[in-house]
Amino acid sequence: MSSILFFIAAIGVITGAVGVVVLRNPFYCVLALVIHLLSLAVLFLLLRAEFVAAVQVVVYAGAVMVLYVFVVAYVGGEGDSIGERLHGTVGAKGPVGSGLRLGGALVGAGLLVELLIALLGTGLEAIGGYGAGYSPGPRTFGTPAYIGQLLLTRFLLVFEIASFLLLIAAVGGVVLARRRGGLGEEDERDVLTPLDLLRPLGTGTTAEGVGAAPALAQGQREGAHETSESRVRAGTGGAA
């Protein structure tokens, strides 16, 4: 049962990874990475890392991927061709692109062979087995309580450094993505100050340039006066 689940999850992991590398639209790349992450969480569960699998699903496939989707929607979908469209060089980079792709595939294949030799050809007997016995006991291995206990006792310094790194990254993200340049003055112009109430109505509008602003202001003031007078009259009439 566990080996069937392993093969299904491993196929999902590798398919998602191939999709991220191959697909052209960045939005589909993000969706392929979500499939990859969910399958990877299944592999983590098979390795008895429950808490890490839960964190993987909640933090990665939940929060980080939503951030990616937002930025893809903001920046725009057609990823690879934006630069070519801007500079009018559509199709001009064909041979260079294919050579780069071939070189990348060769480097990747070399890296894979080297990693497989380094990981599997070491002659370690332990990697052929199913793992050593659980040192904290089979019921507590990988549970949130066990991870929390490790984080707050043996790995307290690591925990604090990671939290400080998150703080720095949050501040850096706000600094990088803030609005900058020229927009502040426009915002100030819209603010109403007490001095604006003293100016005549229509100052700075087109009506003032044509010469109709004083008349407009006069008419509005008289209209306001009349309505208030009529209101007063109506009020007294009602009282009488």
Partner 1 sequence: MSIAWYLAVSAIVFSLGAVGVITRRNPLVLLLCLELMLNGANLALIAFSRMWGNGDGQILALVVMTVAACEVCIGLGMIVALYRSRLPIDVDELRELQG
Task: Determine if 13 is a binding residue for partner 1 (CB under 8 A).
Answer: yes
State in angstroms the smallest separation of the CB of 210 from partner 1. Answer: 38
State in angstroms the smallest separation of the CB of 114 from partner 1. Answer: 9
CA–CA separation, 143 and 72 (whole Å): 35
State in angstroms the smallest separation of the CB of 39 from partner 1. Answer: 10
State in angstroms the smallest separation of the CB of 190 from partner 1. Answer: 22
State in angstroms the smallest separation of the CB of 94 from partner 1. Answer: 14
State in angstroms the smallest separation of the CB of 184 from partner 1. Answer: 15
Quick one: which of 36, 38, 42, 61 contacts partner 1 (CB under 8 A)? 36
Of the chain, the end-to-end C-alpha distance in Å amounts to 95
Residues 40-99 that bind partner 1 (CB under 8 A): 40, 43-44, 46-49, 51-52, 55-56, 59-60, 63-64, 67-68, 71-72, 74-76, 79-80, 82-83, 86-87
Residues 173-232 that bind partner 1 (CB under 8 A): 173-177, 179
Task: Determine if 105 is a binding residue for partner 1 (CB under 8 A).
Answer: yes
Measured CA distances, 211 to 43, 79, 207, 219, 223 (Å): 78, 54, 6, 14, 20
Quick one: which of 37, 38, 42, 61 contacts partner 1 (CB under 8 A)? 37
Residue with tokens 């990747």: 108
Using DSSP, state whether 136 is helix, strand or coil.
Answer: coil
Task: Determine if 35 is a binding residue for partner 1 (CB under 8 A).
Answer: no
Candidates 129-137, 187-195, 210-218, 222-230: pick the segment binding partner 1 (CB under 8 A).
129-137
- Beta carbon nearer to partner 1, 164 or 228: 164
CA–CA separation, 74 and 203 (whole Å): 39
Task: Determine if 112 is a binding residue for partner 1 (CB under 8 A).
Answer: yes
Q: Which two tokens stand for residue 152?
A: 């707050």
Q: How many residues bind partner 1 (CB under 8 A)?
A: 90
- Listed in sequence order, the DSSP H helices in the chain are 2-22, 26-46, 50-55, 65-75, 82-87, 94-120, 144-152, 156-177, 183-189, 206-210, 213-239
The residues, any chain, with a CB within 8 Å of residue 147's CB and separated by 6 or more, are: 51, 52
For residues 15 and 33, is the Cβ–Cβ distance under 8 A? no
Task: Determine if 168 is a binding residue for partner 1 (CB under 8 A).
Answer: yes
Residues 137-166 that bind partner 1 (CB under 8 A): 141-142, 146-147, 150-151, 155, 158, 162, 165-166
Q: Which two tokens stand for residue 164?
A: 């400080």
For residues 207 and 213, is the Cβ–Cβ distance under 8 A? yes
